[in-house]
Chains A and B, each alone.
Chain A
Amino acid sequence: MKLFKIRGGVHPDDYKALTAKHAIETLPLPDLLHIPLQQHIGSPAAPVVRRGEQVLKGQLLAHSQGMISAPVHAPTSGRVMGVGNYPAHHASGLSVPTITLKPDGKDQWVNNTAIPIDPFKLPPEEIATRVAAAGIVGMGGATFPAAVKLNLRTRYTLETLVINGAECEPFLTCDDRLMQEQAADVIDGIRIMAHALGVEKIIIGIENNKPDAQSAMETEAAVYPDICIAHLPTRYPMGSEKHLVQTLTGLETPARSLTADIGVVVHNVATALAVHDALRHGRPLLSRVVTVSGGAIRAPKNLRVLIGTPVDDLLSYCGGFTSTPARLISGGPMMGQRLPGTRVPIIKGSSGILALTRKEIMNDAVMPCIRCASCVRACPCGLVPLEMANHARVGDLEGAASFGLMDCIACGSCAYVCPSNIPLVQYFNYAKGELTARQRTEHKQAETRRLAELRSERMEKQKRAKREALAKRRQAAKAQQQKKVAEAEV
C-alpha cells in the first residue's frame, strides 16, 4: 500500500535481537501481587473488596468511577492481604492506593456471568461495555481506557481502524512476539474492535524490522479483504499515534485534536488481544507480555506476567543482573521512565523492563549548544528544540511556547541526536509542567475574581432592593399619613 512521508525521526540501535527470537514464557505464580487502583489515565478505581477477603481469579477488585476510568480484577485466586498504599510503578516512587493479594496457588476462576457469544451479533455499545468491564486500557503504554475510544463513533464519523504494531522503541519485542504467536487471536480482536467502531477499513502497521510478525499477520488476515497490513519503514517515532496515521493515510491530525477528527481510531495489538480474550472468553485483563531486556540482564526474555507481579520476580526469572545496571527503565529507552526500585509491581501499561548498561545509555557530559540543528532535523513535529530549550532554561516559558512547546510529543528524538548531550526533554517536561501550573493558577485567579465580582454584584443588588423596599414603605407610610391628615382636616 502507498505510504506517506513524515518529517524527522531518528534511527536508534534497536537491540531487538536480544529477545526477538525468544518465545513468550509464562512467569510462575508470584508469592504476592500488588495491584494499584490506578493503572490508567483518568480517575482511580474504587475498591470493592476488604482485607482478609478470599477472591477468585477474574473477580472484580475495584470498580471504575467516572467517565474515564477502568476497573481492576484479581489476576489469580487468593486472599486480600490489604488495601493500602504501596510504591507506584512510576519514576517518583511515591506510594499509591494498592490492593495486595496473596495467591493461594489454585488459580481458580470466578464463575463467568457474561456468557461468551458471537461478538459480531452484539450491538457496538455492548462490545464497548464489555471492554470497559474487562478493565482494558491502551496497552502500548498510554493506558487510556480502550472502551472510551471504542465509543468515539457516537461523536465522530469514523472510517478507519489503525492497529499500531510499529513497536518503534528499541529493545521491546512484546508486540512482535504476540503478532507471531497469537496472530489469529489478535486479528479476531481487531475485527471485534472494528465492529464496535462501525468502520470498514482496517490497517495494521508493522515496522520492517519485524518481518516474521508481518508474514504471520498477513497469513491470518488473508481471508479478510478489509484488513491491510502496511510495511512501515523502520524509524523512530513511527509508533507515535498521529505520525502513524499520517504515514498510513497522508492526513495530518490538526493540533489539539484527536485522530478521530480525521476519521481514524488507533489501537495497539496487545489491546486487540485483550479485547479478544474479553469478548470470546469473558476474561478480564489479568496479565500482559513484558519484554525484560538490556545489557545488564543475564537472560533477556519475553514474559507473560500477571498484573501486580513485583519487578523483582521478573528480574530473578531472567537470571538477575550481570552487572549493576546504570539505569532501570520501565517501557522503551526513548520514552520510558526510570524506575525507583525493583519492588514496584507490573501494571497494565508496562511493555518492558530494561536494565541498561552505561554503554547503552551513553550519558556523556553536557556541553553548550553549538546550534548544529540536528534537533531541528530530527523533530517529527516541526519544532525548534534548541530555541525551546534556550528559552526554558532561563525561565521564559512563553518564549518556549512560541516555538511550539505544547505541540511537543516528548519523543526524545532531539535529545537522542544532540551532540552536546543536552537533556532537551527534561527541559521541555519542566517547562510544560510549569506552564500548565501557571495556567491553572491564572485560571484559578480569574475564577476567584469572577466569583468575587458576582458576589459583590449580588450584594449590591440586595442592598439596592432593600433600599428600594424601604423607600417604598416610607412613601406608602407618608402617603397614608397625608391621607390621615387630609381626612382629619375634612
Chain B
Amino acid sequence: MDPALVSGPHAHGATSISRTMALVMLALLPATLFGVYLYGWPALNLLLITVASALVAEAACLKLAGKPVRPYLMDGSAVLTGWLLAMTLPPWAPWWIGVTGSLFAIVVGKQVFGGIGQNLFNPAMVARVALLIAFPLEMTTFTTPSPLFSSDAPGFLGGLAITFGSAPHIDMVSGASTLGHVKTEMSRGISLDAALAPVFDFMTGFIGYMPGSLGETSALLILAGGIYLLFKRIISWHIPVSLIASLLLLAALFHGIDPDRYIGPLVHLLSGATLLGAFFIATDLVTSPVTAKGQLLFGAGCGALVFIIRTWAAYPEGMAFAVMLMNALTPLIDHYIRPRVYGRDRKGEPLVYESKPEPPA
C-alpha cells in the first residue's frame, strides 16, 4: 500500500529500465544475427557464453552485496553488457575470453562501483580493454567470413571445437580487420593505397562482409539499429552525430593534407567499431553526460580520440580507449555544463530586461 503522504505525479509514463534495455537489445539484434550468420556456430557459442557468464557474475555480486537478486537481474542490464561485449570480440575467440571478459565487465566494471547506475566506465569497454591488453593474440585474431551452412563453415560440432577446444584451431582461416591490416602494412613501408586496396571496398564495408569483430562489421545494420534507438528516444542524436562528425572532420582534414599517409573519412566511418561505438557504446546512459551540450562535447571528444589513437598510437582501433577516457571526464563535464535555468541567465542570476516596464508615477 502507498505511504500516507505521497507526492505527485500520480501517473507514470510507460518507461522502465527493463524496457530501455530491451529496446537497446532489439536494436542490436539485426547486427548480431548478421554476425552469427557471417561467422557461424563459434560466434553464437561465444555470444551465449558471454551473456550467460555476465548473468552469473551479476547474480553472484548481487547476492554478495545483499541486494535482491531477481529484480536487479531482470532489469536486463547484465544481459546487455554481456551482449555488447560479445559484439566487440573476435567471433572465433575461445570460450574463456568471453567468460573472463564478462567477469571483468560485471565485477570490476560495474559491481565494484556499487552496481547499476554507479559505474564510472562503460563495463563492456572496461572488459574489452582489459582483454586486449592481457590477451593481445586472441583479441586480434579475426576470421574471414564463412557464413552459416556454407561449404567451408564449421558445423555445430566443429563450432564447439573452435570455441571450447584447448588449442587454437588449426583450420582457422584467419584474416585481419581493415584497420589492423592497414596498420601492419604501413609499418612495413607499403603505401596506404596498396595496403587498403585488397581489404576495403565501400559496399563490402557497408554491408559488412569482411573480417572483424562479431557485431561490428555491418555498418548498414548497426546504423538501422541506431536510428531505431533515436526514433524510440532511448538515445538522443547528440553523441552519435558529434562523435562521427569530429572523426570524419579530422580524417578529412588529414587525408586532404597527405592522402598517402592518412586513411580517408569513409574508411574510418565503415571500419572497426565506429558506428557500434557511436550509437551503442558512447551513448551508454550511465557513463555519458546528461545535458545536450555536454553530450556534444563528449561525442566530439570520443571522435577526436578515436582518430588520434587509430592514426598515431600502437593500436589499430581506439574506440574502447576513447570512450573510457571520455567516461573519466563525464563527471567534470556534468559539473561545468548545465542547462540554463528558466528565468535566469547563464550565471544563474535572474533575467533582466532592458526595457523593463516601469510602474506608473
Contacts and interface: CB of A to CB of B under 8 A. Distances in A.
A156 B12 CA distance: 40
Contacts of A242: 342-343
Contact residues of A: prevailing secondary structure: loop
B136 interface: no
A348 to B, nearest CB: 20
B4 interface: yes
Given A254-B353, A377-B236, A426-B7, A370 B286 contact: yes
A404 B342 CA distance: 9
Given A254-B352, A425-B9, A327 B342 contact: no
Interface in B61-75: 71, 75
B15 A419 contact: yes
B4 to A, nearest CB: 7
Interface stretch (B48-56, B252-260, B333-341): B333-341
B150 to A, nearest CB: 41
Interface string B316-359: 00000000000000000010001111111000001111001111
Contact of B290 (A262, A340, A376, A412): A376
Contact of B351 (A254, A356, A371, A415): A254
B2 interface: yes
Contacts of B357: 156-159, 261-263
Tier of interface size on chain A: 35 or more
B60 interface: no
Nearest to B2: A327
Nearest to B234: A372
Contacts of A349: none
Given A255-B341, A364-B12, A157 B358 contact: yes
A328 B1 CA distance: 13
Contact of B350 (A254, A379, A425): A254
Contact of B342 (A7, A335, A363, A368): A7
Contacts of A263: 357
A7 B342 CA distance: 9
B342 A156 contact: no
B184 interface: no
B352 to A, nearest CB: 7
Contacts of B9: 12, 333-335, 412, 415-416, 425
A370 B285 contact: yes
A201 B282 CA distance: 50
A222 interface: no
B19 interface: yes
Given A156-B357, A254-B352, A361-B11, A376 B339 contact: yes
Among B11, B17, B350, B357, residue most surrounded by chain A Cβ atoms (within 10 Å): B11
B291 interface: yes
21 contacts: A12-B11, A92-B5, A254-B343, A327-B2, A334-B11, A338-B6, A338-B10, A362-B11, A362-B13, A362-B14, A364-B12, A371-B288, A371-B290, A376-B339, A377-B236, A382-B341, A407-B341, A418-B15, A425-B7, A425-B9, A429-B7
The 5 nearest A-B residue pairs measured at CB? A412-B9, A157-B357, A255-B343, A362-B12, A373-B290
Interface of B: 2, 4-17, 19-20, 71, 75, 77, 115-118, 236, 285-291, 334, 338-344, 350-353, 356-360
Given A170-B11, A329-B10, A384-B334, 8 more contacts: A92-B5, A157-B359, A254-B353, A326-B2, A336-B10, A363-B2, A381-B341, A381-B343
